[in-house]
Amino acid sequence: MTSGRDSPARNEREPSAHFDDLPAHFGEPALRAHEVVKRYGATIALDRVSLDVAQGSCVALVGESGSGKTTLLRCFNAMVRPDAGSVDVGGRPVASFDPVALRRGIGYVQQEGGLLPHWPVLRNVALVPWLRGEEDAEEPARAALDRVGLPPARFGDRWPRDLSGGQRQRVAIARALAGTPEIILLDEPFGALDAITRSELRRSFHNLRAGMGVTSLLVTHDLHEAVELADEIAVMKGGALMQVGRPEELLSAPAHGYVEELLKRAGIG
């Protein structure tokens, strides 16, 4: 059951370039999207979107469902390929990376957690180190579990289905952090949880991030969450970016009627 056993075989098309080897020039923005367009048939999911995420900061993408938040997020780990525009990670075009190597270097958490149901918790968390062929993949996994408040001795051998929703999301966050990425992408990571669990988890994530200095891009439809966690908030609507700014900037000077309305609806400002 350990992540260390049977490491991925060579013949499984081991990506040649390791992400960790590449992004030396994490100079300015860790993530940059420039005039990105993405269409699905007749629908425009991203309409010339440009966004910078500074190294070590947290940006929240907010907006209703279908506003393009998730599509934009997934451009950064090559899960979505834009039709036009450029997407850079660490100053290098995403298209120039081996997508598999890139993904192993970027943390990812989704709303449903996406834990592998047939792997025990520890093996799930050790996924990325194991994929990279690290010798003791369980060690960083244990450390990551500790960091999210789930002692590996108690939780490591459990099946995901035996955990509560909140615990599962913690495991998913631990899994995203176990590879010690410089960047982490979170897609509604707390969206499926009850209010109490949610605020608890938010707090621990906030502390974690502060401690690790990892660059984060967070998709959420909850403005409160965005205000609490993010350095900057990017408001999206219908595939377009309405405004980007620090929470207080948004509150004091909404650049768009929609932003104002959104704030009002959320009871903020």
Instruction: Report the interface residues with another protein, using CB under 8 A.
Output: 8, 11-15, 74, 77, 79, 100-105, 108, 110, 112-120, 127-128, 131, 159-161, 172, 175-176, 179, 185
| Comparison of 8 and 151: residue with beta carbon closer to another protein | 8
Our CA dihedral for 229, 232, 233, 234, rounded to 10 degrees, sits at: -140
Backbone angles phi, psi at 7, to 5 degrees: -70, 155
Q: How far is the CB of 179 from another protein (least distance, A)?
A: 8
Q: How far is the CB of 140 from another protein (least distance, A)?
A: 14
Give dist(CA 140, CA 63) in Å, integer. Answer: 35
Q: How far is the CB of 115 from another protein (least distance, A)?
A: 7
| Comparison of 26 and 119: residue with beta carbon closer to another protein | 119
Q: How far is the CB of 97 from another protein (least distance, A)?
A: 11
| Comparison of 162 and 261: residue with beta carbon closer to another protein | 162
Give dist(CA 149, CA 143) in Å, integer. Answer: 10
| Comparison of 97 and 205: residue with beta carbon closer to another protein | 97
| Comparison of 5 and 246: residue with beta carbon closer to another protein | 5
Q: How far is the CB of 13 from another protein (least distance, A)?
A: 5
Q: What is the DSSP letter of 132?
A: T
Nearest partner of 33 among 217, 160, 228, 201, judged by Cα: 217
Give dist(CA 255, CA 224) in Å, integer. Answer: 19
State the number of CA atoms in the 13 A half-sphere of 228 facing the CB.
Answer: 15
